[in-house]
């Protein structure tokens, strides 16, 4: 019975990692479509959304079934709750990929001009946060998860800098407004990806240590 | 034992409604601060965040304790999972209120000009979505929750219209760029409030009917 339960938990973890793979690919394609203006890539991102949504529901259902049938305690209970939360965050990362792809489609109408924000760099930073948070989840490593939290300030700072430099650009070159606005929105989408990675890292810590680190809870209490 | 358990569930519900009250007030104050440029209101929104975060953790802990100690089944299990999810969405609505207040602080440096987006209307629509979703939660009314889902298209449409009209404004009146950009971001924040209300409504339906309605799951399957 216990062995079977452990198998079920491992299976749940595997499924969440498949979900994560789909979502990471979507973000990667969306940001590459921005750099290359490849509308075929945008299309692929939009087409992957139903599969991601379906997988989210299946994982949730599997987690609920485990809760209902096995009535797990302590660390196993926290693991399943963490899976439910991480699942929701991954789906929202997928939503950000869709938003980015839609903005790139929008940009198709306008000349491909240089704007003062390094979207590929911001994308690689926020994707790295997601990847590290998942690595921490795979290994059950709370210290690794903790390291993800520190990266979020960098992403936030890049996004704020993008806001400032794009505002100035619009003031000086109003004809570039559509491109600047779309870059601004994409920059915010990537900043939200970093927020979701932070949530995932916090869920890993909650699972492993049993402590709730959100909003600096440990430091405060 | 059973009576005590029911009392615990009722108490959990009460606490979530207190949390909801704080969050609704934060959104209301943040959008009022936009209309009135009252920086004192912004300050109040920023000061309410730690209390909202603390309450989120307490509710999560209470829900986890109930799961661990009572090992509830079926509708009670779904109720507790719904509370955990709704709790996370409410906290994120609070984050949107903070973002709006920060944008209003930013706007303090610039002249108060008219921009072509009706922020108070968008705010009242998205706040109404949150309120109705919570009403459905209080009454355990899945039909009422379903009605919330229909409102989201309206909010999305208003936000898209804001993007278009603010882009044009910037093109014609580049000196209004800072005000237009801040209005654009606030409009997106309010659209996200509507998304969270949608999530809450879906959780109510999941709890009451046992069906997962996310992403049109019922229609698809």
- Taking 60 as the threshold, does the pLDDT of residue A55 lie above it? yes
Sequence-distant (6+) residues with CB within 8 A of B20 are B90, B130, B134
pLDDT band per the 50, 70, 90 thresholds, residue B71: confident
More confident position, A212 or A118: A118
**Is A84 close to B88, i.e. CB distance below 8 A?**
no
Best of B107, B212, B213, B219 to mutate (most A CBs within 10 Å, chain A)? B212
Tokens at A160, concatenated: 């704020």
The pLDDT of residue B21 is 96
Length of chain A, in residues: 221
- Taking 90 as the threshold, does the pLDDT of residue A217 lie above it? no
Complex ipTM, two decimals? 0.74
- Whole-number Å distance between alpha carbons of B176 and B172: 9
**Is B163 close to A184, i.e. CB distance below 8 A?**
no
- Residue B113's SS3 state is coil
The CA-atom distances, in angstroms, between A148 and each of A88, A109, A142, A144, B60 are 18, 37, 10, 7, 22
The pLDDT of residue B215 is 64
Partner-chain residue, chosen from B57, B67, B171, that has the shortest CB–CB distance to A217: B57
**Is A181 close to B170, i.e. CB distance below 8 A?**
yes
Mean pLDDT of the region A113-125: 93
Summarize pLDDT for B23-64 with one digit per residue, the tens: 999 999 999 999 999 999 999 999 999 999 999 999 999 998
The pLDDT of residue A219 is 43
More confident position, B220 or B95: B95
Summarize pLDDT for A12-47 with one digit per residue, the tens: 999 999 999 999 999 999 999 999 999 999 999 999
- Taking 90 as the threshold, does the pLDDT of residue B173 lie above it? no
Q: Is B28 exposed, middle or buried (0-12, 13-18, 19+ CB in 10 A)?
A: middle
Neighbours of B9 (CB within 10 A): 17
The pLDDT of residue B3 is 85
Distance from CA of B33 to the nearest CA of A (A): 22
In chain B, what residues touch A81 (CB-CB under 8 Å)? 64, 67, 84
Sequence-distant (6+) residues with CB within 8 A of B32 are B38, B41
- Taking 60 as the threshold, does the pLDDT of residue A220 lie above it? no
DSSP at A108? T
**Is B60 close to A212, i.e. CB distance below 8 A?**
yes
The pLDDT of residue B180 is 92
Sequence-distant (6+) residues with CB within 8 A of B56 are A214, A215, B19, B87, B88, B90, B91
Q: What is the CA radius of gyration of chain B?
A: 19
| Interface contacts (A, B; CB < 8 Å) | 85
Question: For chain A, what is the largest distance between any 2 Cα atoms, rounded to a whole number of angstroms?
Answer: 69
Tokens at A10, concatenated: 């491992």
More confident position, A5 or A2: A5
Query: Residue A69: closest CA among chain B residues belongs to which residue?
Result: B73
Mean pLDDT of the region B140-154: 95
The pLDDT of residue A147 is 95
Sequence-distant (6+) residues with CB within 8 A of A30 are A41, A42, A45, A96, A97, A98, A100, A101, A104
Structural domains in chain A, CATH included, are 2-220 (1.20.58.220)
Partner-chain residue, chosen from A77, A185, A215, that has the shortest CB–CB distance to B67: A77
The pLDDT of residue B221 is 34
Using alpha carbons, select from B54, B136, B7 the residue that is nearest to residue A221: B54
Partner-chain residue, chosen from B57, B163, B167, that has the shortest CB–CB distance to A212: B57
Query: Contact, A206 vs B196, CB < 8 A?
Result: no
Mean pLDDT score across all residues of chain B? 91
pLDDT band per the 50, 70, 90 thresholds, residue A216: low
Summarize pLDDT for A60-118 with one digit per residue, the tens: 999 988 988 888 878 898 999 999 999 999 999 999 999 999 999 999 888 888 899 99
Partner-chain residue, chosen from B61, B68, B77, that has the shortest CB–CB distance to A73: B68
Distance from CA of A189 to the nearest CA of B (A): 11
Mean pLDDT of the region B167-195: 91
Distance from CA of B171 to the nearest CA of A (A): 6
Mean pLDDT of the region A189-203: 95
Sequence-distant (6+) residues with CB within 8 A of B103 are B34, B182, B185, B186, B189
Tokens at A86, concatenated: 């991480």
In chain B, what residues touch A175 (CB-CB under 8 Å)? 171
Query: Residue A217: closest CA among chain B residues belongs to which residue?
Result: B54
């Amino acid at each position: 019975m216990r062995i079977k339960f452990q198998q079920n938990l491992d299976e749940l973890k595997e499924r969440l990692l498949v979900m994560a793979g789909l979502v990471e690919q979507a973000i990667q394609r969306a940001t590459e479509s921005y750099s290359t203006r490849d509308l075929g890539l945008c299309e692929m991102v939009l087409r992957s959304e139903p599969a991601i949504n379906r997988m989210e529901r299946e994982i949730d259902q599997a987690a609920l079934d485990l809760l209902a049938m096995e009535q797990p305690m302590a660390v196993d209970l926290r693991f399943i709750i963490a899976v439910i939360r991480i699942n929701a965050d991954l789906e929202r990362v997928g939503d950000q990929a869709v938003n980015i792809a839609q903005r790139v489609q929008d940009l198709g109408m306008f000349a491909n001009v240089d704007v003062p924000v390094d979207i590929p760099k911001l994308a690689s930073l926020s994707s790295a946060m997601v990847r590290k948070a998942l690595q921490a989840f795979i290994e059950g490593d709370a210290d690794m998860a903790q390291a993800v939290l520190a990266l979020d300030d960098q992403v936030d700072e890049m996004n704020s800098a993008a806001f400032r430099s794009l505002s100035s650009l619009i003031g000086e070159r109003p004809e570039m407004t559509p491109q600047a606005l779309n870059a601004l929105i994409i920059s915010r989408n990537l900043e939200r990806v970093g927020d979701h990675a932070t949530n995932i890292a916090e869920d890993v810590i909650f699972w492993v240590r049993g402590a709730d680190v959100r909003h600096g809870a440990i430091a405060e209490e």
